[in-house]
Structure 1
Amino acid sequence: MSTVDNTPSDLTDVPPELHAEVLKWRTVERLRPEHIVLAGPGQESVWDYPRPPRVEPVSATITVVFHGLTLASSQNAYRVIETSGAPVYYIPQSDINMECLEPSDRQTLCEWKGTSAYFNVNVNDHTAADAAWTYPQAWGEFAVISGYIAFHPAQMSECWVNQELARPQPGNYYGGWVTDAIVGPFKGEPGSEGW
């Protein structure tokens, strides 16, 4: 296995009390597996995605459904792509039925995007705990997704990229959306802890 480059990058927007922890995660050694699938025509390999990650607008319609209710449908989403992970889609709140989202107490720290806040998703008598998240004050280039919300596809009934039903990235931690347009292997699969 070869090593993936981990550039520390700029700490300008990072609160000083988080510098040590952020640098620790930004510089951890990541391995590149030998069994990478070659991308075919019209496909992308997650192993060609950058680290540090990149945020970019998407032209696709991104739709999220939970127990028969369309929670979100947007043509104004962004995706965040990072080496070894499936794209994560961030949707503006104006395109989300926010009445179905209830803030939870969970927070996590991303070494690139900042501190996240989570939501429980409630539709009728169905609840998905911590199934959506946002970065209220995302750092650096990720500031464009501040306040935008991502949904974990494993906890939703359906997540669509245009007319394709996306599949959850393996593992319970990562919120990537796997479609036929991307190939792996993906972080979250058994044995991928060092990727």
Structure 2
Amino acid sequence: MRRLFTPTRDPIAPGQESVWDFPRPARIEPISSRLKVEFAGRIVAETLNGYRAIETSHPPSYYFPPSDVDRSLLKSASKRTLCEWKGGAAYFDLVAGSQFSKDAAWSYPEPVTDFAPIAGYFAFYPARVDACFVDGERVVPQEGEFYGGWITSTVAGPFKGSPGTAGW
């Protein structure tokens, strides 16, 4: 019988929460933090009306209302994925002048019922843009090509995504 490996939690500092206390299955929650995404010297998205998705072992990903995203910079991409919790995702390339970032953003046009509040909202991979911020703090991208988590000083890991973490 094969056992799943569970990593040792990082210590939690004051004001932090552990991603190991996040729920499974994932859930979303509205937040009032100032969220911002920059690309090619432009603000692509900025909001005080976002949502965060949280799931065990993952730093949060953040969702922006369409009204707070410069959609003129988004071009529909061919990539599609299926999340076991949220439903089918559509992807978008970012294009600003001569700068291009493939599959930099995603959205759930028709998410499952529990995620209905983020229908049509946009999330961004911090590794595929110039910078992302939560309340002015620059985000560190979650490792790996698949996940789009935003790591800030308010979350403790370790975080899924780096090599060897697929079984978490």
| Range class of TM-score, shorter chain | over 0.9
TM-score by length of structure 1 reads: 0.83
Cα shift at 1:38: 2.3
CA–CA distance in 2 between the matches of 1:109 and 1:137? 11
Letter in 2 for 1:161: V
1:67 alignment counterpart: 40
Stretches of structure 2 lacking an aligned partner (at least 5 in a row): none
- Which residue, out of 146, 158, 166, partners 1:185? 158
Highest relative contact order (Cα 8 Å, sep 6+), 1 or 2? 2
Q: Where do 5+ consecutive residues of structure 1 fail to align?
A: 1-28
What does residue 8 of structure 1 align with? Answer: none
Change beyond 3 A, Cα 1:105–1:48? same
Counterparts of 1:122 and 1:42, CA distance in 2: 37
Decide which of 84, 88, 91 is 1:111's aligned counterpart: 84
Distance of aligned partners of 1:133 and 1:30 in 2 relative to their CA distance in 1, 3 Å threshold:
farther
- What SS class does the counterpart of residue 103 from structure 1 fall into? strand
Q: TM-score, normalised by structure 2?
A: 0.96
Distance 2:3 2:71 in 1: 37
Aligned pairs for 1:13-52 within 5 A = 31=4, 33-52=6-25
Superposed displacement of residue 189, structure 1: 1.8
CA distance in 1, matches of 2:113, 2:44: 28
Alignment of 1:141-156 (within 5 A): 141-156=114-129
Residue number in structure 1 paired with 2:145: 172
Counterpart position of 1:97: 70
Q: Using the TM superposition, give the Cα deviation of residue 193 of structure 1 relative to its aligned residue in structure 2, in angstroms.
A: 1.1
Identity %: 48
Q: Which runs of 4+ in 1 moved over 4 A?
A: none
**Kept after mapping to 1: 8 A contact 2:7/2:158:** no
Question: C-alpha deviations, 1:36-59, integer Å up to 9, x for none?
Answer: 112121101000000001100111
- Aligned pair count? 167
Q: CA RMSD in A?
A: 1.3
Task: Give 1:162 deviation, angstroms.
Answer: 0.9
Residue 125 of structure 1: aligned partner: 98
Q: Does 1:134 align with 2:107?
A: yes
Aligned residue type for 1:35: T
Instruction: Please name the residue that 1:82 is paired with.
Output: 55
